[in-house]
Amino acid sequence: MPTQSISMSNYHKYSQDFQADPQAQLARNAAVQRDIRELALNWESFRQIDHTFSQVITGELPITNQKKSGRCWGFAGLNLLRIALSRRYNLDSFEFSQNYFMFHDKLEKANYFLENILSTLEEPWDSRLLMHLLSDPIQDGGQWDMFVNLIEKYGLVPKSVMPESFQSSESMMMNRIVTRKLREFAAQLRHAHHRDGVGLNELRALKEDMLGVVYRLLAIHLGNPPQTFDWQARDKDNKFLRYEGLTPQQFYRDHVQVSLADKICLINAPMQDKPYQALFTVEYLGNVVEGRIVKYINLEVDRLKEYAIATLQDDQPVWFGCDVGKHFHRDLGVMDMDLYDYDLFYGVPIGMDKSTRLEYGDSMMTHAMLFTGVDLKDGRPRKWRVENSWGEKVGQKGYFIMSDSWFDEYLYEIVIDKQYLPEEIRQLYDQEPIRLAPWDPMGALAH
């Protein structure tokens, strides 16, 4: 009769079954000494790795490197914008300052966090919501609409004007210090309200002083951002360019000339609580207070492919978010559902469908990159060319391959300009969104 605990008779049976299985013992002998990902690598898929594509955009640039930071979403966004700038000025290399972007993201997230604390003053200290808000208030991650907010408010500067610091490239200790201070500030605001009866206006005045402290901490770690700067470069034809007295907002508006406000985020989330052709937002997810809120339209995966292909065929890159760690080989730079044969190696079927993985915590958005190409055969995609931000030592000098079957299973969002979308999708984006819980997997890229 089945029991609640593990019976000793079952325990001995499990051991005997394992000892009687030569395949299991062979797998054990290998696994105790080597990386599973190397042992389970499928030779048939490995031998067919091919970095050629039928469609690749013009203006690809040397790869960037986010190093030991979680700024993939910002790197991907800045990499999209630098393609436009390099085309405009005929440049063969250029980077925007990821450090400048990071500074303002942290500052705005600190304000967003403190405002969320003020809006939840009556929430119990141990509620799930408050614990969520306190868990990681200035994490490195983010979403597309958060990227748009920062660029439209603070503009852009070249990397030469505000280069990387040690802390921007290795952000753990900076995040830890600033997070500790923000939790201290959260306690002070709540105590002032509950113990001393301090009203909201007075609390906001305290908050403004707190943000001055945050600015100080960020400037110590990252350097203080420039208000004006000069930019000069040589183009591919050796023509010298110089622009003086620029503000970051001018640089974005006059020199990049990309309308981020015209781009819409689409997701593929086949979950029970997310119907297709519906607009969603995630509560308490954002950075700039009173800025653009995070919004997604949920569509079938083939529609995401259709719009991504149309964009690439028009010679434009595509920002996307995915779960990069699954069926992925970092050194080879390959994302492929057939890359590993875990079922064969373990002698046990391992797998869930996309909906189940999302609903049962096995998958979520973890990384953002750019599509810069696609390989089409008879009009259908076979694989996708990916620009990553992990340096040139992985993949093909930093460029990766995503199989089309991997796109089906682990790609969750793409950003598409309105001009490539039908009118009904554009109209849907202007409706009131369905609100998702702060811990929904569709908000995971920002955490």
Could you read off the pLDDT of 227-264 as tens digits, one per residue?
A: 999 999 999 999 999 999 999 999 999 999 999 999 99
Whether 267 is covered by a domain: the verdict is: yes
- For strand 263-267 and strand 229-234, is the pairing parallel, antiparallel, or unpaired? unpaired
pLDDT in tens, 65-119: 999 999 999 999 999 999 999 999 999 999 999 999 999 999 999 999 999 999 9
Q: Are residues 244 and 372 in the same domain?
A: no
Q: What is the CA radius of gyration of the chain?
A: 24
- Do 276 and 245 have their domain in common? no
Q: Which of 258, 278, 307 is the last residue of a domain?
A: 258
Q: Is residue 443 part of a domain?
A: yes
Confidence of residue 24 (pLDDT cuts 50, 70, 90): very high
> Is 99 in the same domain as 244?
yes
From the list 193, 327, 367, 447, the catalytic residue is: 367
Report the 3 state secondary structure along 158-215.
ECCCCCCCHHHHECHHHHHHHHHHHHHHHHHHHHHHHHHCCCHHHHHHHHHHHHHHHH
Q: Which two tokens stand for residue 349?
A: 């079927």
Q: Is 322 noted as a catalytic residue in this protein?
A: no
Is position 388 within any domain? Answer: yes
Residue 72 is among the residues annotated as catalytic for this protein = yes
Q: DSSP for 236-249? A: TT--EEEEEEE-HH
Q: How many domains in the chain?
A: 2
The verdict on 345 and 271 lying in the same domain is yes
Q: Looking at the structure, tell me whether residues 340 and 370 fall in a common domain.
A: yes
Domain assignment of residue 340, yes or no:
yes
369 lies in a domain?
yes
What is the domain-level CATH number for residue 124?
3.90.70.10
CA distance 113 to 84: 33
State residue 117 phi and psi, 5-degree precision: -65, -40
Mean pLDDT of 311-332: 97
Note the pLDDT of residue 168: 98
Among residues 99, 116, 268, 388, the one annotated as catalytic is: 388
* Residue 218 shares a structural domain with residue 177: yes
Specify whether 99 is catalytic.
no
% of the chain residues with pLDDT over 90: 98
> Which residues, in sequence order, are CB contacts of 124 under 8 Å at separation 6+?
130
Q: What pLDDT does residue 111 have?
A: 98
Cα(216)–Cα(213) distance, integer angstroms = 5
- Assigned domain for 310 exists: yes
Q: Which of 72, 149, 221, 447 is catalytic?
A: 72
Q: What pTM value is reported for the model?
A: 0.96
List Cβ neighbours of 370 (8 Å cut-off, separation of 6 or more).
76, 79, 80, 317, 318, 319, 320, 386, 387
The answer on 269 and 250 residing in a single domain is no
Do 321 and 242 share a structural domain? no
Do residue 195 and residue 283 come from a single domain? no
Domain membership of residue 310 as a residue range: 36-65+260-447
